Structures are given as structure tokens and as C-alpha cells.
Amino acid sequence: MYKTFEMELAGRTLRVDIGRVAKQANGAAFMHYGETTVLSTATASEKPREGIDFFPLNVEYNEKLYAVGKIPGGFNKREGKASENAILTDRVIDRPMRPLFPKDYRNDVTLENLVLSVDQDCSPELTAMLGSAIAVAISDIPFDGPTASTQVGLVDGELVFNPTAAQKAASDMQLTVASTREKVIMIEAGANEVPEDKMLEAIFAAHEVNQKIIAFIDTIVAECGKPKHEYESFAVPEELFQAIKEIVPPEEMEEAVFTDDKQTREENIRKIQDRLEEVFAENEEWLPRIGEALYQYQKKTVRKMILKDHKRPDGRAIDQIRPLAAEVDLIPRVHGSAMFTRGQTQICNITTLAPLSEAQKVDGLDEAETSKRYMHHYNFPSYSVGETKPSRGPGRREIGHGALAERALVPVLPTEEEFPYAIRTVSETFESNGSTSQASVCASSMSLMAAGVPIKSAVAGISCGLVTGDTDDDYIVLTDIQGLEDFFGDMDFKVAGTHKGITAIQMDIKIHGLTKPIIEEAIARTRKARLYIIDEVMNKAISEPRPEVGKYAPKIIQMNIDPQKIGDVVGQRGKTINAIIEKTGVKIDITDDGSVSICGTDKEMMDEAKRLITIIVTDFEAGQVLEGTVVSIKDFGAFLEFAPGKEGMVHISKICKRRIEHVEEVLTLGDRVKAVCLGKDKMGRISFSIKDVAEENK
């Protein structure tokens, strides 16, 4: 027997089956939202993992294409590596839940979500977020939850909770908010320049919905929850802290960490660690814990100085941004480039333009997203933080940062009709000391402008941090946090936007949620900072998009033809279109609605391709003068090719004004001649004349 729990959520039924499947997991919730079905499980190892100083949480969101009635492509016909959407969903599940596990817990924990079926009106991602929260809440794994999550859309100025597929398509906002009983713990948003006050309204409206979900989860836990198990604590012994403080007094630690140069600070800490390891060399119990103890000591020192003395490690004021610099066109020959520097964070972004046929194909669970015309990729090499390690390709962090910057810029991109290009921007991290994702937004915005992409507005991003005390009222918000303030602080609140409003938000925190005043202050701080960055830094490097794409970028001519003529342009087995491509060197894309894109770098050849296509799709009419090539000679006349696959016949009597016995007296194969259409002959065939071409057309 199993137990079923139900609640109405945004007009649809959320059903949770407990004890029906996966009974050997520590906790399992069989989730049904509409006809979306997700199995969410939580498992923990019996013993802690040795040799680590962090909580080993692993989150998996497994998309199965059978959930939408598809067979995977490729030779294997099996799901491969996780999609970008799956990785982003892993992160959005992880972020609100990680802070609620004990900080001294070292047992491996895995949250697994298996998507079994997808109702396009009921988000599987949201269902998995709720499922993971329920699975952990009812398990014996220590967890200070539950959490709840709600998605919010903005349709015609009205907030919509957990929007349907149609509502998502019409929405100006895609917001996800996760909450605990008292506070907001995670925010993720993409928005079409939504004003700050509307975004705040949406965040707190979602928080209210989350309270109803938490009450629902509480009923499940009351009936099905297991007692939380005991675990081995890996907290740093207080005796070790006291011993370290005697060797390294607080004043010395403050001096070591309070510098604006990352390398200097790291060298200071390394010397302290070497000294401590020498002192405790004979203490087998404490020696392995020195690194973590020193980290905690730095954290307490930085937090105390910021919170009590309003003193930041690099000496800045609480709302002061680090030194900024921006430039464009630093990389030759690429289609667009820009570099944005903020303190010791430096991003170089390169834009590449291509025909729409180069858009990324997406084979996932969302039927509304089958391709991506704009792609933003983010790279984080080890040299950017002064380290050395082999490159293994992008990890979850890199994919997440790229997606965040992409989300921030999509709202200002021109439509395909306005700018018929696929666009890729790549952010290369040259140097990193805090909030490279938001530097990527700034660099990408300028790079797109430099490439001649007619974006609607410049977009800038900035991050705010937080240090909290013992009460909700004891806190301080920091503008433009550097790496140290991110590591030792409580929040990384990233906001990107334009003068008009917000285009993206991502909030990561390490505490049990944020109060309304903190969120309001962070939103206000980021607006002030991003407007300053746009007006005083970015606009001075480039204030508007270039009027046309660069010398080395492909040019595109668009034209529309009758869809019924597409077959004439393509020809049998592609013979006609390939002949045009071979002759002109251009790239031609044709859509089912008759939209034709001609892409190339030689304008003369592009115009020639357009002329040939126009000839192919235009019916011959009497009086029309065309230039063609002699491709065949017969006793009775000659055949002219006006465009690949488009020919006309000139009778021998219409070749020359004088009488000739043989066509070869006047024409040879390959000759280029002009002919006028005479209309249909007695047999109903279209005929042409060379001799009747008017003098002015010769």
C-alpha cells in the first residue's frame, strides 16, 4: 500500500505518491503535475567520505526522450550526456537546497530526478524541484527544510503562476522563486526589461504561493517522514581555533587578508599555513584540519570587519565599484570583439555571425524550443585564477554562467526578420576575481554592438553580496563583490538589465533565506550600479550598434518566393540550387514559407545569386528581355540557359536578321546573348528571339 497526497497548484492538480516506487531510497516521491510525471529520490551514504572539507551533494535531472514520445537521434539511439537544460535544472535544484544541509555533514547525498512523461503545460523542471524537496524532507537525511518553488510569468502585465506553454510563449518574464517557511532562498529570472518594482512584486507573490506548498509538504512529512539519522560531525574543534589564534592573532590575520591584490593575499595566507603546519607537525589529529580551520578563521575575520567596521578587504566603500575599463575591436578579423575589466576580473568577448541555418538544433523535452538562434558560451581557464590544471571542457559552472549571460541578452536582440543571422558570442575569462558572469554580460553587449548587431539597448550586469549577523536586522549589502567576499559572504545576487529594466537575475545564498528588505536593497543597488556602468564606461567605448556588419562578417540578402516555386529553385536532387552555389560561391537557405537567405562575402556574387533565383521563380512573359548562355545547338535553333534549370528556345529564324542555313554560323556553345520573350507559339511553347531585341537592350 502507498499513500497519495494532492493539492491544487495554479489550477492544476499536484499529486504525490509516497511508498509506491523506489522504496530502498532514503526518500522517494512519485510526482504527478497534470500529466507530467517525475520520480524524485534522495539517497545518502552510510559513512562520510574521507579526505574532503565540503558537503558532497550531487543533483541529477535525467531527461528521457520517451517522456515526449521521441526516439533519440544518432547511431546509439540512446540518451547521451546531459543537455544544457538538464544541467541548468540540476543547478536550480541544488542552489536552494544546499544551504539547508548541515555544514559539517560529509556523507555523500544524491538527489535524482527521472522525467517519465511531460505535459507541456506542467513544467517537469518545477515538478523535479518540488519532488527533490519532498524526497529529502521525508527521508532520514538531516535537512532544515522543506523548500518550495514556484515559476512566475508576466502576460499582458498580469502575473501568472506556473504558466502553461501558451502563457510562456507570451510571457515577458520567466521567474523561478524558491522559499523556506520564512524567507526567499533562491531567485532565477529572465525578463524582457521588466521594471524593478514589478520584479519585486512577482518575487514576493511567488513566495506567498510557496508557503501553501510548504504547508502541503508538512502534511506529507507528518504522515510519512522518517526520523533524521545521527551523523559524524566534521566541525573544526574549538580547541584548534583557540590554538591558531594564539599563534596568529586577529590583528595579523586582518593584515594578511585585507589587500586589494588577490595574489598578495593568497601568498600571505600560504605563509601563515606553512607556519601552522610546522607548529602542529606532530599533532596527527589537528594537522589535517589546519586548512579548513584557517579558511574558517579568514571567513570570521572578513565578516567581522565588513559587518562591524564596514571595512572591505580592498578598502572600498560599501557601495563602491572596483575600477572599470572597456574597449572594443581589440581582436582583428573576427566579426566583433570587446573587453570589459572590473578590478581583477577581465572578460574578452568575441561575436561570430552566420546564416540562420547555423542555429543550434535542440532535441529536448520542451516542444516549444527546437532551435537556438543566439548562443552564448563562457570559458574559465585555470590561468585566469593563477592556477594550472588540464582543460576538460566546460563544467556545470561554465554552462550555467554562459546561460545566465545568454538569458540577459536575448531580450535586446533584433528579430530574425530585422537581422537574419545566427549569433554566437564567446566569453573568454582572462582574469577572475568575482562575478565574471556579469562581466560577460557587459563584454557581450559591447561585442554585439561592435559586430553590427542592432541590439535595442546596452545591457550591463553587476553582483551584490551580503554579510549577516545574529538577527535579521543585522546585515550589510555590498556592491560589486570580489572573490573573497563571495567565498566568505552569504549571498551572490547577480542582476543584469538595461535602462528600462531587468533582463536576468540569479541569486545564490549560503544562509537560510533572505528577508524582503535585503532583496529590495540588493535590487536597488544593482540598478544604480548597472546604470553607472552603462553610462560612464560602456557607452564611452561604444554607444550604439555599428550601422552594418564588419568587413569579414558574412552579408545576407533576404528575398521571398512563392512556396510552390521552392522545388524549381532546389531542382531535382538539389541540382539547380547547387549549380547556383557553385557558380556564385554563396550559401543559400530556403524555408518552407518561401523565405530565401543568400549569404556570402562578395556582394556582386550575392546579387548574381539573387538574380538567378528571381529568373527561376518568374514566369516568362512576352516582351521580357533576358541574358542567357547557349547550352545546346540543334538544326532548328538553339537553347539558352537563363539560370540553372531555366531554359528557353530560339528558333533558327529568330537568331539573325539575315537568313542563315546553320545555327553555328552565328552562335557557338557558351556564348552569352540577350533574347526577348515572344510568348507562346502555336504549339503552346514559350519562344525567344535574339534578332528582335531592341537596340537599347543589347
* Residue list for the binding site for Mg(2+): 486, 492
Question: Among positive and negative, which fits the CA dihedral 176, 182, 185, 191?
Answer: positive
Ramachandran category for residue 421: left, alpha or beta (phi over 0 → left; psi -120 to 50 → alpha):
beta
d(CA 274, CA 285): 17
Per the CB < 8 A criterion, the answer to whether 83 and 72 are in contact is: no
Q: What CA–CA distances, in Å, run from 298 to 245, 248, 255, 555?
A: 11, 11, 11, 55
Ramachandran category for residue 194: left, alpha or beta (phi over 0 → left; psi -120 to 50 → alpha):
beta
Beta bridge partners of 30: 17, 39
Burial of 324 (0-12, 13-18, 19+ CB in 10 A): middle
Residue given cell 501553501 in the structure block = 212
Count CB-CB contacts under 10 A for residue 186: 26
Beta bridge partners of 466: 477, 491
Grid coordinates in use for 82? 546531459
Residue given cell 541540382 in the structure block = 575
Q: Which amino acid is at 570?
A: V
Per the CB < 8 A criterion, the answer to whether 502 and 196 are in contact is: yes
Which of 144, 202, 200 has its CA nearest to residue 516? Answer: 200
> What's the alpha-carbon Rg for the chain, to the nearest Å?
33
Which of 625, 341, 302 has its CA nearest to residue 478? Answer: 302
The H or E element spanning position 398 is helix 396-409
d(CA 30, CA 35): 12
Q: What CA–CA distances, in Å, run from 109 to 48, 93, 95?
A: 10, 13, 14
